[in-house]
Amino acid sequence: MEEVPDSPALGGGMEAEGPAEPLELPPSPPSPAAPETPELPQLPEPQQPTEAYARQLLLDEWGSPGCSLELPPRLTWKLLLLRRPLYRNLLRSPNPEGINIYEPAPPTGPTQQPLETLGNFNGWHIRTEKLQRDCSWTVKQQCVDLLAQGLWEELLDDEQPDVTVMDWYEDSRLDACVYELHVWLLAADRRTVIAQHHAAPRTSGRGPAGRWVQVSHVFRRYGPGVRFVHFLHKTKNRMEPGGLRRTRVTDSSVSVQLRE
C-alpha cells in the first residue's frame, strides 16, 4: 500500500492533453466525508423473513457466488437482504440532471445558472478549476463508505470482490479532452491508496456531436484493507457570450460484484 502523495502523478496509460492545458490530477485525498447512511427500517414482524429464506433469496438474486460468503457473527442474512450491498449503484444522485443516455444529449445554450440549481446533486461535492482560454473544469466527487453500505471487512479483505466504476459523458466538442475520471480505493484512514485508476479519453471528433461516451474500469484483486471508494470526475466548460457552455455527464456508478 502506498501513502497518497501531495501531488500524485498521472496513472499509466493516460493521455496528456494539449500543451496549453496540461492534465492535472485533483487534490489528493483525504476524501470528502461519506454521506451518512440513514438507519434502515426494520420490516414489521409478520413480514420478517427467516434467516434461511433471506439467504436463499440473496443467493438466487446473485447467482452462484464463487466464494463461500461466510457471514461474521454481527451480520445476518436478514440484514443483508435489507441493505443489498452487492450489484447495486452505491453512489448518491448518479443522474442528477435526469438525462437519458439512450438519446443524444439534449441541446442547451450557454447558461449563467450554478450547476447545483440544475438538478439533484445530493451527495456530490462540487468545485470549479479555472483553465486557460476561457475554459474550466467542473469537478464532482463523492466518497463511498463500503462498510456503511452493508459490506463487511472479511469479504473485502479475503474475497476482494470486483469494484466496478462506470460513467457516461457528452461528446461536447468543447476541446480535445472534455472529461477525466479519477478513482481511488482507500483504506480506513481515507488517505492510504490501495489501488487507483485515472482516465482522460480524447474524443475522435467523428460522428454527431452530443453522443454519449462510456468510461469504465473494474478493480480486481486489489489487496486487503479497502474501506472507501473515492470517485471523482471532471467535465470541461467554456465561457461564451451569454454564459457557460458545459459538458454534461450522467449515470455515474460504483458497484461491487462477487467474482465468478
Q: Encode pLDDT of 166-217 as tens digits.
A: 999 999 999 999 999 999 999 999 999 999 999 999 987 777 778 999 999 9
- Do the Cβ atoms of 225 and 192 come closer than 8 Å? yes
Domain boundaries along the sequence of the chain? 44-84, 88-260
- What are the grid coordinates assigned to 226, written together? 479497502
Which stretches of 108-241 are DSSP H helices?
153-154
Q: Tell me if residue 150 falls in helix, strand or coil.
A: coil
CATH of domain 88-260: 2.60.120.260
pLDDT computed for residue 63 by the predictor: 79
pTM, 2 dp: 0.81
User: How many angstroms separate the CA atoms of 99 and 107, rounded?
Assistant: 11
Q: Tell me if residue 200 falls in helix, strand or coil.
A: coil
pLDDT computed for residue 20 by the predictor: 42
Question: C-alpha angle with apex 123: 238 to 188, nearest 5 degrees?
Answer: 115
